[in-house]
Amino acid sequence: MINEEQFESLLAKMEGEALDFKADAYDLSNEEVKFSLIKDVICMANTPRGSSSFIVLGVKKYPDGTYDLRGIEKHVDEADIQSQFTERVYPIPDITYYPIIYHDKQFGIIEVFPTRIGPCVPVRDYGNRLRQWQIYFRRGSKNDIALPEDSTRILSWFGKKVPPRGAYENGGVSWDKLLLETHNFDSARYFILILSPYTKNRITDLRAIGLIPWIAAFDFDPESDTKGVLDSCKEVLEKYRSVHLITTKDRPIINLRTGTYWFFPRGIVGREETVEIGPWRTWQKAHGGAVTEQIKRLAAACAPTPVTFLALWHDASLTRHLQSVLDATLGAFGDAANIIILTDNLSELQAISDESGAIPLEIPIHQFCSGISSIFQIENGLVEEGLSFPCSSGAPMPAATVLSEKDKFWLEEELDLVHIGSGLVPCINHSFG
């Protein structure tokens, strides 16, 4: 509860990152005003700080520090305020509402506690004020969109691991965008993998895919369990989740807390009655309906937690299969689904991305795996940050994934290796005039 002395202390302060004054109360019968309330609160909630933030209702504040005590006609029930965030924002910010009488007038105060659960973001677009998954925060006394450097500071404040950046300040756009869209693979979200067949090679450590806590995968490689991606990453994934191999004929009981449901839309080699590797039309007739049903069952189990679908797609011959899965995803999950497509050839998948509203990013799978490995292993204390190479997407590329020890020693003999941070911090014991 806010007392008169605390209220006067707020009145004496200027607007800033932790304080905002509103001349009027929020009229929750107006949709745009509802969205304004949501934006005001999540901006406060996402701004790094050491104490609570406050929104004071009924006070007109002027740039010279003076103010008008206008008061409000009636108070909004706190339950009505809290309900504006349910199913609109994830995670829900920690707030409360206080009514107060001062100089015989009514005022309202919304306190936004510095609880580090977030960032709090809209789960879909709302009017012209809020964009799905966008991070908003306070820049001085104004609400603003978080730029990449702002997001880094915000994520650090929330205790999220901020991974190494690419080697060039103006490069690494795709990798930065991936981390922003996935919220740095925040464990409070659900992640579902969509995967085209992929042939193993020496430079791609597919084990890294198992580091992400997938709740499900739709794998179009019938041999994935024996020769493909699942064969490579299963051992890693099974260290903390139970992996269930599912065909279109199976109807598993879904437990998202500990299980990963690896669906095979084209069947599994070894269960020949499930395999259909013919053209899209034949596959759609045989398995399309069952795949849609499996996606609907997943949607029911996931609600209301937001879900990110990540498609690693490198097979142009199966683009219609991908389109079918994305269509079913949009039908079942609606605005709760955030779809990202990673490929090494954007032109092949641009049309599908446009139709489904997916975010296309040009990140080759070996760069994706290298970046994921770097993020999760550094986060878990398994490896330390060390020598890494620049790449087209900006993903961290540790030298060990590119060079043998012999080549690394040769490179160190022939070149001076300069750290990316060189020049950003003055040398010890050196003074500059």
pLDDT tens-digit readout, 5-57: 999 999 999 999 999 999 999 999 999 999 999 999 999 999 999 999 999 99
How many residues in total does the chain contain?
A: 433
Q: Report the CATH number of the 171-379 domain.
A: 3.40.50
Q: Which DSSP state fits 248?
A: T
Residue extent(s) of CATH 3.40.50 domains in the chain: 171-379
DSSP 3-state assignment of 272?
helix
- Cα 137 → chain centroid: 16
Q: Say whether pLDDT at 375 is over 90.
A: no
Confidence bin at 377 (pLDDT 50/70/90): low
Confidence bin at 427 (pLDDT 50/70/90): very low
Least confident span in 149-163, 228-242, 244-258, 316-330: 149-163
CA distances from 179 to 141, 166, 335 (A): 28, 12, 20
Q: Which residues contact 111 (CB under 8 A, 6 or more apart)?
A: 2, 52, 53, 54, 95, 96, 97, 98
Give the mean model confidence (pLDDT) for residues 411-433.
48
User: Which region, left, alpha or beta, applies to residue 256 given φ > 0 means left and ψ of -120 to 50 means alpha?
Assistant: alpha
Q: Say whether pLDDT at 411 is over 80.
A: no
Q: Say whether pLDDT at 162 is over 80.
A: no
Instruction: Please state, rounded to an integer, the average pLDDT across all residues of the chain.
Output: 85
Whole-model pTM?
A: 0.59
- pLDDT digits 0-9 by tens, 258-312: 899 999 999 999 888 999 999 999 999 999 999 999 999 999 999 888 899 999 9
Give the mean model confidence (pLDDT) for residues 378-398.
53
Q: Report the CATH number of the 4-153 domain.
A: 3.30.950.30
pLDDT given at position 113: 96
Q: ω before 91 within 30° of 0 (cis)?
A: yes
